[in-house]
Chains A and B, each alone.
Chain A
């Protein structure tokens, strides 16, 4: 039973592959009915499926394919010309065949589908003769598998010829030729003419046809053998011997080619991709550590070696990532293949003449994207057929060629794949679109007035929009295009429309190569970081606060000749404003299709390659967050969902960014001396003790820190409400200047008096102290009284506590 299942699986995989190709071939055949090779190919598919299904006892399928074979066989022999009507029947039978295969896949049986009607039509097409002999006779002849199998023995035979008489060989050759020449006749006539024996043969086509039709030949020898031996026949055994390897060459290649590919479970590839993701993260981390080490041990010899290793690891990781990504890549042709058939059906249904031009079908995309992109493309192409391309009469009247052309092409553009769908139909009329949307209440009059043409084109993606005056069953249910948009955006892709009335419409779908690893721009707001997919970032600009204007409660800025609406990332993600915003801000200009938005951030960190991780079930669906990634330092950074962010931005009012936040530091009323808290920051224990001794008599609370970093942590912890800080300048980890400027970044410490206590006496040192926000500058050595008085002055120490 298991064995049967295995065979069945193979059968299904093979059949589906064959059928997929069949569709494309059939449509091509219709426009090119004389193409014998194409016909042979199609016939072989029907035949292969028939053979395998009869072996597996799928009677219904066998029955159907058998009759298909009849028709195709007639066509193959020129007894039947493929007309569109006949093609309809054939296509119908192919559809049935697909349906049967699907049933078999799901239920392991082919019951439940009625094929008799179709079979009857097929019979009618083949002239109602339905001779049993025709298929039986034709069956073995073109069977490819048998040929392959037979070739090897044929080769071996040929090797044996070495030991034969020349006469025997000639006789053998003649025998082979007699069996074989019919199929090779046309192509090889010229060659055969050169041969000595053969000229007699060509003039007997009648006989050949008969032979082909009635003798169920023991599978014929390979075409290669007679071809090569024929001209050399006169050269006796020598020729045959020499040619044997040549003939063998193509045969040998065939099995080798089979082993060039293996089927791999997608799960394994996914796992591999995940592992690569981890590796990329580790690489990022390694690079970060390397940078840190470089800073700390500048000039050390081992650094160079470390550098080399790090760059090799990072290089190999990148290559590995690309290589693994490629294993998941499929040519987009897999999706494109079904469109010729679709266009053909549609044009017959709509009574239009439409031609499909496909290019770039070899362009590769990640498997998961290939699977997702099919439906949106179907919608778009249906739409182009239905609403874009005009009926033939109208086209002629407009002076256009009768046949409309829909172009479907795919190409790489940077890190993206572009799929472009062009039609030469009537194009989109922005005014018409606006009026329509107004009628349906999708937009307001005001919006319509300010709308650019591009934005108007974007209206077709609004839910509830349908431009077809008449709803047809092809498209125009008003659901299609907004689904297209959502699907494309799900893939992190964008849609770009361009159109000219009367000339045509062009849609570009821009889709990232892969979903798992993306380039992102890291931005900072307050103490948080966010990653923005680089694909949506158009540019970044640095502006000063005065460049931000408020219009109708929204922040905007002028970017070249455009007015760009602005939103602060902190307002969207509810970031607490602890740090004081500086005079300048960075604006990340986001673009999605035609809409643009300026996102104000505090800092730009840089560009990084990030691995997208999901937030899991518990946190999924958070508006504005597409996922998370793990950074080089092991921390988690959230990834911005640009689509959702643009939606959210509409509801956000102008940020309080331009307003000065009121004085937060409402210091509590002091009732006793110990309510005053002062921090002493110095790396020398002695110095700290001296300061402590000087201040203790006041009775104030003293907190000590041994360097800037520690001081900052104590401050952030918020356990004490400090009234002043005494800061030494020379300290490890973080010096006094840095500490002062860090503290001054916080709104609530703006008015905290910082007093420098240092042995640096230079004027420039004093200047730096002032610049970094120090209010007093005490030079060591100092008297205890002096220090005490300076502190008292700065904390407004009430004299009654003395």
Chain B
């Protein structure tokens, strides 16, 4: 009798544990496209996503720093990921968005070509960055594999780090 009870209790606790385990194992990302590639960053690093509006150019910075813009009273740098990733600049379209990312106290807006979607991906499906680009300098956190494609997951802290 007690054995049976134990079994049932065990089963119940197993059932309770599994969803939690699943939650722990899943990473939520936001995907976006730059050029032809799909990239993603952890959803928690994103403060907001806004439609493009005017910014002010800042002198003496690399080309990929477009300038600064006003986000509800705060002055925030705007970085063009196309240029940063070595692609030719493109005119902003209806699909262009600014993704405002935050890591600690660092905040910046990033221009991306197009949003794709929020992605849930299991941890075991995320592989390390290819050996050739592993190192402290890489901006790549890992590579997420999905059924039909792979997504490059970016390191937010590296994106927000000043490198000039």
Contact = CB atoms under 8 A, between A and B. Distances in A.
A636 B66 CA distance: 13
B160 interface: yes
B78 to A, nearest CB: 10
A57 B83 CA distance: 66
B77 interface: yes
A636 B70 contact: yes
Contact of B56 (A574, A617, A635): A635
Given A617-B162, A618-B106, A636-B75, A630 B70 contact: yes
A166 B99 CA distance: 88
A524 to B, nearest CB: 13
Contact of A278 (B69, B73, B108): B73
A185 to B, nearest CB: 65
Nearest to A528: B57
Interface in B45-79: 54-61, 65, 67-70, 73-77
A619 B68 contact: yes
B70 A619 contact: no
- Among A573, A613, A618, A717, max chain B CB count under 10 A is at A618
B94 interface: no
Interface stretch (A362-370, A401-409, A411-419, A620-628): A620-628
Contact of A617 (B54, B73, B106): B106
A505 to B, nearest CB: 38
Interface residues of A, number: 26
A53 to B, nearest CB: 41
Nearest to B161: A618
Given A574-B60, A616-B107, A618-B162, A635 B70 contact: yes
B68 A628 contact: yes
Interface string A598-624: 000000000000000111111100111
Instruction: Please report whether the interface of chain A is mostly helix, strand, loop or mixed according to DSSP.
Output: mixed
Given A617-B106, A618-B160, A573 B70 contact: no
B131 interface: no
Contacts of B76: 616
Contact of A622 (B56, B59, B70): B59
Interface residues of B, number: 25
Interface in A439-481: none
A211 B161 CA distance: 75
B105 interface: yes
A617 B105 contact: yes
A528 B65 contact: no
Contacts of B57: 528
A738 interface: no
B108 A638 contact: no
A792 interface: no
B77 A616 contact: yes
Contacts of A636: 55-56, 67-70, 75
A615 B68 contact: yes
Interface of A: 278, 281, 528, 572-575, 613-619, 622-625, 628, 630, 634-638, 717
- Which 5 A-B pairs have CB atoms at the shortest separation, nearest pair first? A573-B59, A636-B56, A628-B75, A618-B77, A613-B75
18 contacts: A278-B73, A613-B75, A615-B68, A616-B76, A616-B77, A616-B106, A618-B106, A618-B108, A622-B58, A623-B60, A624-B60, A630-B73, A635-B54, A635-B70, A636-B56, A636-B69, A637-B56, A638-B58
